[in-house]
Structure 1
Amino acid sequence: MGEQTTAREFHLPLEQIAGASADGALRYLEYRGDMARLGLAVNGEPPFADAAASEPAPPPAEPAPVSAPWCVTLLSPAVTLSQLRQLLTFFAEHGWPVTGVDTLAQSDTRTVLRFQIDAVLDFSTAKHACLQQAEKLKADLVLQPGDSQRVPALAGFDMDSTLIDAEVIDELAKITGIGEQVAAITEAAMRGQLDFRQSFKKRMALLKGFPETRLAEIAAELPLKDGAAKLLGALRALGCKTAILSGGFTYFAHYLQRERLPVDFVHANQLEFAQGALTGDVIEPIVDGARKRALLQQMAEDLGLGLDRVIAVGDGANDIPMLNLGALGIAIHPKPKVRLEAPQAISGFGLDAALYLFGLNDAQIGKLTQSGL
């Protein structure tokens, strides 16, 4: 029989954690610029024999206030002491002092640690360093300004492959028997290899003759992206206005708004029908990347909001302009080009993981859920 695993809490400096040679499953880490509280699942001899140890303590109800200029959030299915050591070494090698750490989530399927960093950074350079380190850790590592760790007042969302787990135009094409042909154009456009406006017109021309009667059937079968309902519901409960800004179609965006998700505003492309079938033409103005950004900026102005209260969420190349507009631009399961060009990116979790970037922990998110989400 194997040795029994027990949970223990160790009190020690971060430098001692970074120098540890042992490994183990991390339960939590709390640090306030003094001694760290490190919760580990210990199997056999404890890794810090000379450190003060105690029974695990309950997690704080709320994370500490953010006072540092930068935050780096680690999102992983399960964090090990070895991964934590690698990350602390990464911070030290870049000269990024850690002034605080909070555990925002700890469960069997996700661990989220937020590190406050007191350093002067070039954001683009630091972001790409974090992306490279994330690949080594096999996790997500998200850099953001410290003052962006708050609930936004306005959030703009792409629809296809962001709020729903499908590209609607590809679903229409499958019914007409040209699914592979249209899907290839869509993929090239989302990767930034084709101009969106040109690709959109080309795909619509191929869909000429699609019957209007099939739209309701497709709308009812569109799968939501994992975490979409939880995130949109939480934002509604927190008073944040939300908008769909889609290169897809108003018919499906309004269906989501009416039947599936709490969304305040919808901006998307209109379908043109004649005698019950798609004409193959497009109705201007096309909602492309530039228009998404302009619409989001106009909504902020109409609501009297500064761009520091605005965020955007998307996955494709046509989302990049709006992702770079406000306080946060979160690419969810992004294409490679978007992962590199978006300010923030989350690849390993659903949409609800964005809540951690607003400074919320699982206890706070759970209260929102209990309140009726």
Structure 2
Amino acid sequence: MIPVADFDASSVVSDNSQGLQVSLQPGLESAVITLTGHDRPGVTAAFFRVLSAHNVQLLDVEQSQFRGHLSLAAFVGLDPAREERLREGLVDTLRGHGQRVSLEMYSQEQHSSPRSTHVAVVMGDPVTAADVSAIGQTLANYGANIDRIRGIADYPVTGLEIMITIANYEPGGGHSLRKALAEMTHELGVDIAIERAGLLRRSKRLVMFDCDSTLITGEVIEMLAAHAGKEAEVAEVTERAMRGEIDFEESLRERVATLKGLDASVIDAVADDLELTPGARTTIRTLKKMGYRTAVVSGGFIQVLQDLAEDLELDYVRANTLEIVDGKLTGRVIGEVVDRARKASLLREFAEDSGLQMYQTVAVGDGANDIDMLSAAGLGIAFNAKPALREVADTSVNYPFLDEVLHILGIPREEIDESDLEHGTFRRVPLEFVGADYSAE
């Protein structure tokens, strides 16, 4: 949640802050032409052939195809004396292609489409019309307009990306809307992430994950404690620390003390039992294909995580170090403890090493000891998190799929799947097997 005033896109928008700045050729007036119908080869060519015959100037064009249905719109400059002949030409030509056409002159009082100020991603299983209706009404209540909606995911959850314009937006604004949408997540049972649109969103290049209950499904220290018969005792201290009720370093040393005397071989046993969070492999693999740097920073132990980090080919890994003497755990950690403050400083260190600014970073975590790193990151994502972390995070994920992080970043499922098919890594596991096999994704 780094201040972004220095990078606000509004500072480089032309005087026409309502939208696209255009320059009509002499004698032309602006108009909007729309075409709809079933998609088929040759439609677009025929459309522009008619425009060409009437010396139409193109100012803006948008075409989309949705499940076989074509939508094409053009913002143009045309000679008003040719309006009727152009309209007739379009209707006559495109009727044969099964298309409907409309032409509307664009008065000086009208404005072109605004540039979206924000983007919201809605994810759930399911996402219903009632959900979108409630979200749309909340946006309207705060003076925000929906510009475009597109599907961004169909697995493991349904995802929609909604481009939004907040009226009279100023840098640092939108907090009340963000809070209102966050309050809707539990009421609706969907995840809602909202952030600034534009280059800032696309500039992210480093994603850092907490480990326990984020990148992996369990808590490493509890798994170690199970070998010492201290699992319940350690779990209780862990829960208090995650809620922010006690200092993390104090709780860590208290829990590690219960491991004194354990044979060091338990480290390998626990490492073999680690289970990745559903979607973790897909998420890391996709980020790396796109040139992101990836990191894991853990309040757990480097001896347990090192092999996993190498398997995932993470760029950075930091965790605590268990002291081992004569093949036995001493019940102590050595070196600087990876606590709440240290996680944030490591994020800054990794960003600097990668040649990045902090607004280009993303942090994902679940507990109170992740508060500082999520607050320091350009985008902080609370993953199935405790209330203390959700209160400071930019957005929250409440489904057990780590690849929701990809969709929050604007990466569509279709592109993820296409890449995996190309590289032979595509695999969709039935969601009823999430607890067993999906973590391999």
Give the TM interval when normalised to the shorter protein. 0.7 to 0.9
Q: In structure 2, what residue type is equivalent to 1:306?
A: Q
- Asked if the contact 1:314–1:330 (Cα under 8 Å) also holds between the matched residues in 2, the reply is yes
Answering whether residue 164 of structure 2 is matched by residue 112 of structure 1, we say no
Which of 149, 158, 165 aligns to 2:210? It is 158
8 Å Cα contact 2:362/2:380 also seen in 1: yes
Query: Matched residues in 2 for 1:198 and 1:285: separation?
Result: 13
What runs of 5+ residues in structure 1 fail to find an aligned partner? 1-33, 38-53, 61-65
Q: State whether residues 244 and 253 of structure 1, in contact with CA within 8 Å, keep that contact through their aligned partners in structure 2.
A: no
Structure number with greater Rg is 2
1:243–1:265 Cα contact (<8 Å) kept: yes
Determine the structure 2 residue equivalent to 1:301: 352
Residue 290 of structure 1 corresponds to 341
In the alignment, the residues of structure 1 paired with residue 220 and residue 344 of structure 2 have an alpha-carbon distance, to the nearest angstrom, of: 21
Task: Measure, in 1, the Cα distance between the counterparts of 2:247 and 2:118.
Answer: 35
Residue type of the alignment partner of 1:69 = T
Give distance in 2, aligned partners of 1:275 and 1:254: 21
1:257-296 aligned within 5 A: 257-259=309-311, 261-296=312-347
Q: Aligned pair 1:333/2:344, yes or no?
A: no
Q: Which residue of 1 aligns with 2:60?
A: none
DSSP-derived class of the 1:324 partner = helix
1:96 maps to 2:147: no
| Contact 2:135/2:181 (8 A) holds in 1 | no
Structure 2 length as normaliser, TM-score? 0.68
Tell me the amino acid that sits aligned with residue 110 of structure 1.
Answer: V
Please report how far the alpha carbon of residue 349 of structure 1 lies from its aligned counterpart in structure 2 after TM superposition. Answer: 4.1
Between 196-205 and 119-128, the greater mean CA deviation after superposition: 119-128
Deviation at 1:245, TM superposition (A): 0.9
Percent identity (aligned): 33
CA-to-aligned-CA distance 1:289-343 (integer Å, 9 cap, x gap): 1111111101111221111221111111111111122221111111122122211
- Tell me which of 49, 62, 68 is aligned to 1:57: 68
Deviations 1:70-109 (A, max 9, x none): 11111111222222222211111121112222211235x5
For 2:268, which of 200, 204, 216 is the aligned residue? 216
What secondary structure sits across from 1:280 in the alignment?
strand
For structure 2, the 5+ residue unaligned runs are 1-32, 37-64, 72-113, 426-441
What's the CA shift string for 1:28-59, capped at 9, x where partnerless?
A: xxxxxx99x9xxxxxxxxxxxxxxxx994379
**Equivalent AA in structure 1 for residue 371 of structure 2:** I
The question of whether the paired residues in 2 share the 8 Å contact of 1:97 and 1:117 is answered with yes
Counterpart CA distance in 2 for 1:206 and 1:89 is 53
CA distance in 1, matches of 2:241, 2:227: 21
In the alignment, which residue of structure 2 is the partner of 1:320?
371
Cα shift at 1:127: 2.5
Does 1:352 pair with 2:403?
Answer: yes
Match of 1:197 in 2: 249
Question: Which residue of 273, 284, 288 corresponds with 1:236?
Answer: 288
State how many pairs are aligned. Answer: 317
Q: Secondary structure at the match of 1:97?
A: strand
Q: Distance in 2 between matches of 1:151 and 1:159?
A: 24
Is residue 268–residue 287 contact of structure 1 (8 Å, CA) maintained in 2? Answer: yes
Q: CA deviation at 1:231?
A: 0.2
1:364 paired to 2:415: yes
Q: How does 1:133-148 map to 2 (within 5 A)?
A: 133-147=184-198, 148=200
CA distance in 1, matches of 2:138, 2:296: 38
Task: State the distance in 2 between where 1:273 and 1:59 align.
Answer: 66
Give the direction of change, closer, same or farther, for the CA distance of 1:112–1:195 in structure 2 (3 Å limit).
same
CA shift for structure 1 position 276: 1.2
Query: What is the rounded CA distance, in whole Å, between the counterparts of 1:200 and 1:263 in structure 2?
Result: 25
Q: Deviations over 1:320-369 (max 9, x none)?
A: 11112222111111112212221111112411111111211121111222
Mapped pair 1:69 → 2:117: yes
TM-fit CA distance, 1:257? 1.6
Moved more, 234-243 or 117-126: 117-126
Matched-pair contact (CA < 8 Å) for 1:158–1:313:
yes
Which of 261, 275, 298 is residue 246 of structure 1 equivalent to?
Answer: 298
| Alignment equivalent of 2:307, drawn from 255, 272, 292 | 255
Task: Provide the residue aligned with 2:127 in structure 1.
Answer: 79
**3-state SS of 1:68 partner:** coil
Q: Alignment partner of 2:270: what SS?
A: helix
When the two structures are superposed, what TM-score results if normalisation uses the length of structure 1?
A: 0.79
Q: Is the 8 A contact 2:138 2:180 kept in 1?
A: no
CA distance in 2 between partners of 1:271 and 1:58 (Å) = 60
Could you tell me which amino acid in structure 1 is paired with residue 187 of structure 2? K
1:151 Cα deviation from its structure 2 partner: 6.4
Contact residue 151 and residue 359 of structure 1 kept, 8 A: no
Q: Which residue of 1 is the match for residue 224 of structure 2?
A: 172
SS at match of 2:334: coil
